[in-house]
Amino acid sequence: MKKLAVCILVVTAILGIVACSNTTEPSGETPEYSLENVTWFLESYGERGDLKTILDGTEITATFNSDEGRVTGSAGCNSYFGDYEIDGNKLFIPVVGSTEMYCIEPEGNMDQEVQYLKLLNSAESYEFSGSKLRIISGTQVLAFGSATGGLTPKASSIEISCDAFMESNQISLSYAPEIEVGDSVTVTLCSNPTTGFRWSESAEISDQTVLEQVEHTFVSPEAENMVGSAGKETWIFKGLEQGMSSISMEYSRPWEDGIKAEWTFNLTVFVQ
């Protein structure tokens, strides 16, 4: 199914400019997968051509954090950690440390953990087979899948200026961003708290099983000597599961007799 075009709306003091980023399904293009900043779940391991599925009731994960150059995760019983280096498709994890718990169940859990950590510690390279990650150590393989299919989460951003709200105090965008599960939508709206008005800190989300608010920040004017100038409020929303959800916010004076809904903003988001 073709996806809708995701548009980034930027309204300046003089013009309203709409810049669209086409996110229709690519035809014949190869998606870009990333080893880093994705949580990988081990599915099988062992000799190429004779892989063993991990034990029922166990979960083995690996997350390669690019900012820290560190891999962390669960080995099925214990948590583990270690530094890593990447050179092209070469992968080096010279030392792996872990906690020291002993798990009796399920049977074979500790043997599986020892084999996993040994293979991770002796990693030589990595490759992708479709959306699956394979970490290779000699003739042996660790085969992972991920909740996001190995695709780096994407972001769609929307920014609306004070001038836009001065022209229309109720803005409902006429397009709906379409994102994948795990992707985010960033909404930035003009805000000037020196007037006593402020946006809702938490947006109203029609279906919180589909979309969640993960961040809200206020950005003050860049020029410190511009007393009374407008700043910006930013919200980040993350797609949780497939579906449709709307976001609603009001710009009000919050005290009891204050002006309510001086400005309003509404946005519908589709999560695929």
Identify the pLDDT of residue 14.
27
pTM above 0.85, yes or no: no
Helices within 137-178 (DSSP H only): 162-167
CATH T-level fold of 6-27+152-271: Immunoglobulin-like (2.60.40)
| Residues in CB range of 1: below 8 A, 6 or more apart | 25
pLDDT tens digits, 93-126: 998 998 888 888 889 999 999 999 999 999 999 9
DSSP lists the bridge partners of residue 156 as 185
pLDDT tens digits, 122-174: 999 999 877 789 999 999 999 998 755 555 556 678 888 888 888 888 988 75
Q: pLDDT category, 48, cuts 50, 70, 90?
A: confident
Identify the pLDDT of residue 35.
87
Nearest to 66 by CA among 78, 54, 83: 83
- Where are the chain's structural domains? 6-27+152-271, 39-146
CA distance 249 to 261: 9
CATH T-level fold of 39-146: Lipocalin (2.40.128)
Task: Return phi, psi of residue 216, to 5°.
Answer: -145, 125
Identify the pLDDT of residue 181.
84
Nearest to 128 by CA among 97, 151, 100: 151
Kind and range of the H or E run holding 120: helix 109-121
**Burial profile 20-35: b = 16 or more Cβ within 10 angstroms, e = fewer:** eeebeeeeeeeeebbb
